[in-house]
Structure 1
Amino acid sequence: MTAVLAVADHRRGELRDESFEVVSAGRDLADDIDGDLHVAVVSGEVESFADSLNRKGVDHVHTVDYGEEFNHDVYAQAVEALYADLDPTVVLTPNSVNGLDYAPAVANALDLPVVTDVVDVEYDDTLVATREMYGSKVETTIEVDGDSFVVTTRGGEWPQAEGVGEAEISSFDFEPDESAVRSTVTGFEEVGGGDVDISEADFLVSIGRGIEEEENLSLIEDLVEATDATLSSSRPIVDNGWLPKNRQVGQSGKVVTPDVYLAIGISGAVQHVAGMKGSDTIVAINTDPNAPIFDIADYGIVGDLFEVVPELIDEFQ
């Protein structure tokens, strides 16, 4: 049997968007090897999660009903047990905080090669993975030797799996070695004192150097209120201390995939684009007609944001 095993990601009772993206990546790989796609969900509301993960292209969903939240030791043991049972060619996890926590440990325990943060991956006699380097300025293609592999996929690089599937959903018989479970989740604390997860927003208004001064944030906040959007930014705004870290989009911030991404005064450096290029619709406002952000924008306004934004506020109000 040839197979790909994709492991879902969830937090505080909700599946992460990356879970449905890793399903898409897994389906592509399963097609490459002419095999089945198995999806595993560990801990939490596994039955409800399994129903949500039963998307088009999924052949089997395995539930591991143990605990409520992510636990490194439980996940590592569960994935190792699933690997022993399924013998997959590839184990896929999101390149998330959780995925990066246990995926290398699983690879080490199983003596498998691991490739992290891939933006593309395929199988043609061997694993071929694409990663970005030097601040996303260069793409590198890696051929990985081996019979089986562990891979983490960057968020926003694959579409979310859609459609109702006909997967076989089953409970996986698993009991962890309690003596090896050395940690437990006692609570959650938002980084940077923020109460918003921009990666979950449907409409983001994002600002860059073009706003010039912190005092001009009030104008953007008026637009955010008028459009019922969520405020985010490029790195310079956070470095200046004008917004907290949890509002930063980009390679060193968060990957976002909103329905609408309105970039105001953002030039479009590759580090920022890496975090938002998966948005459904990108709108850019910039005075420079040659700004790189226009290369990926669906709609562009070449103009002074201090003239354009008030017009937008009036229109939405």
Structure 2
Amino acid sequence: MSVLAVTEHRRGDLRDISLEIITAGRELADELGEELNLVVIGGDVDGFAEDCNRDGVDTIYTVDEGEEFNHGVYTQAIEQLHAELEPTALLAPNSVNGLDYAPAVAESLDLPLVTDAVALEGGQPVEVTREQYGGKVETTYDVDADQYAVTIRSAEWPVAEDAGDAAIESFEADIDYDAIGATVNGFEEVAGGDVDITEADVLVSIGRGIEEEENLPLVEELADALGATLSSSRPIVDNGWLPKNRQVGQSGKVVEPDVYIAIGISGAVQHVAGMKGADTIIAINTDPNAPIYDIADYGIVDDLFEVVPQLIEEFGGEAPDV
């Protein structure tokens, strides 16, 4: 028996969730006393397999079918590999792709499925924790089944970093292309604005504390001085002060920068869900009891209009008049 985790790639790049799911899978496999196996489907399967060859992975199976994600290919390949390995747990990313094929596979294989897991506790039954009501409530489900499927939320587990020595094996899936109702003809990037905040190393993020749109140039100057990217919490986007592609949070984007500077952000659970994976979190807020300080590595309890100009000067910029 084993834990089988499905990796994910897009447009030639392995996604971070592929390395996070290794950590989640290894922890679960250890608790169950089982092996951890991965499957890479489509694209540069050999290259992706090497990228996923991290400590704790026992075997990586490659399915060399197609370049980009295809529902029919993934469902058939996973179902056939599952039939051969008979894993206790099937783990998939809680992503657009993962939520496309995981329910179909679970239905086909008659597996109970829990989506958007933020914690797993191995055993019989396995305990799967997920958040509800915008992150205000955590619910733990006891999945009393010999085999089950779970989708894993990104940024909840650290990426697996240490190199491994897993065996890499080609799995020859028998794909029935006549049964596939859709094919991928190309990839078109949805218009999302001028930047992708998920790729930023440093984010300067602004919340309600900025008070009005006319004060935005202050944090924009700080971002420029730091060589950072500007992002925000939902109220700033709802007010129309920044475009949707700049929003961090449950209803925005999940980011994992090296440094996240939260300015005038209280730290509501919906926002924290999108940025708690940052390596270093710095918060600036006048309220010493703001929830953001519960997860911040460094905090400045002061007026942002006093602190930000000093930071701009420290890093060689020139604070604008606001």
Provide the TM-score with structure 1 as the length reference. 0.96
Report if the CA contact (8 A) 1:204-1:258 is conserved: yes
Report if the CA contact (8 A) 2:43-2:64 is conserved: yes
Task: Give the unaligned 5+ runs of structure 1.
Answer: none
Q: Determine the structure 2 residue equivalent to 1:109.
A: 108
Between 54-63 and 168-177, the greater mean CA deviation after superposition: 168-177
Counterpart mapping for 1:277-316 below 5 A: 277-316=276-315
Give CA deviations for 1:197-256 in whole Å, capped at 9, x if unaligned. Answer: 322322111111111222222222211111111221111111112222222111111222
Letter in structure 2 aligned against 1:183: A
Letter in structure 2 aligned against 1:138: V
Q: Determine the structure 2 residue equivalent to 1:87.
A: 86
Are 2:199 and 1:217 aligned? no
CA distance in 2, matches of 1:31, 1:208: 41
CA distance in 1, matches of 2:303, 2:188: 39
Residue 129 of structure 1, CA deviation: 0.3
CA distance in 2, matches of 1:88, 1:110: 12
Letter in structure 1 aligned against 2:176: D
Q: Identity over aligned residues, as a percent?
A: 68
Q: Determine the structure 2 residue equivalent to 1:118.
A: 117
CA distance in 2, matches of 1:248, 1:64: 36
Q: Determine the structure 2 residue equivalent to 1:6.
A: 5
Residue 293 of structure 1, CA deviation: 0.7
Q: Determine the structure 2 residue equivalent to 1:231.
A: 230
Give CA deviations for 1:55-107 in whole Å, capped at 9, x if unaligned. Answer: 00000011111111111111111111110111100110111111111111110
Q: Determine the structure 2 residue equivalent to 1:185.
A: 184
User: For the structure 1 residues 241 and 189, does the alpha-carbon distance in structure 2 shift closer, same or farther, using more than 3 Å as the test?
Assistant: farther
CA distance in 2, matches of 1:190, 1:265: 32
Letter in structure 2 aligned against 1:213: E
Give CA deviations for 1:129-188 in whole Å, capped at 9, x if unaligned. Answer: 011112111111110121111100111110101111010001111131101222233444
Letter in structure 2 aligned against 1:310: P
Q: Determine the structure 1 residue equivalent to 2:62.
A: 63
Report if the CA contact (8 A) 1:55-1:165 is conserved: yes
Give CA deviations for 1:243-273 in whole Å, capped at 9, x if unaligned. Answer: 2222211111122221111001101111111
Counterpart mapping for 1:200-279 below 5 A: 200-279=199-278
Letter in structure 2 aligned against 1:6: A
Q: Determine the structure 1 residue equivalent to 2:319.
A: none
Residue 189 of structure 1, CA deviation: 4.2
Q: Determine the structure 2 residue equivalent to 1:144.
A: 143
What is the number of equivalent residue pairs in this alignment?
316
User: For the structure 1 residues 239 and 290, does the alpha-carbon distance in structure 2 shift closer, same or farther, using more than 3 Å as the test?
Assistant: same
SS in 2 for 1:161: coil
Q: Determine the structure 1 residue equivalent to 2:75.
A: 76
SS in 2 for 1:120: strand
Task: Give the unaligned 5+ runs of structure 2.
Answer: 317-322
CA distance in 2, matches of 1:186, 1:314: 51
SS in 2 for 1:289: coil
Residue 288 of structure 1, CA deviation: 1.4
SS in 2 for 1:78: helix
Q: Determine the structure 1 residue equivalent to 2:154.
A: 155
Are 2:129 and 1:130 aligned? yes
CA distance in 2, matches of 1:315, 1:184: 54
Between 17-26 and 213-222, the greater mean CA deviation after superposition: 213-222
Residue 29 of structure 1, CA deviation: 1.1
Q: Determine the structure 2 residue equivalent to 1:169.
A: 168
Q: Determine the structure 2 residue equivalent to 1:28.
A: 27
CA distance in 2, matches of 1:315, 1:143: 52
SS in 2 for 1:310: helix
Report if the CA contact (8 A) 2:205-2:230 is conserved: yes
User: For the structure 1 residues 60 and 183, does the alpha-carbon distance in structure 2 shift closer, same or farther, using more than 3 Å as the test?
Assistant: same
CA distance in 2, matches of 1:255, 1:262: 15
Report if the CA contact (8 A) 2:117-2:153 is conserved: yes
Give CA deviations for 1:31-50 in whole Å, capped at 9, x if unaligned. Answer: 11111110111111111100
Provide the TM-score with structure 2 as the length reference. 0.95
CA distance in 2, matches of 1:194, 1:51: 33
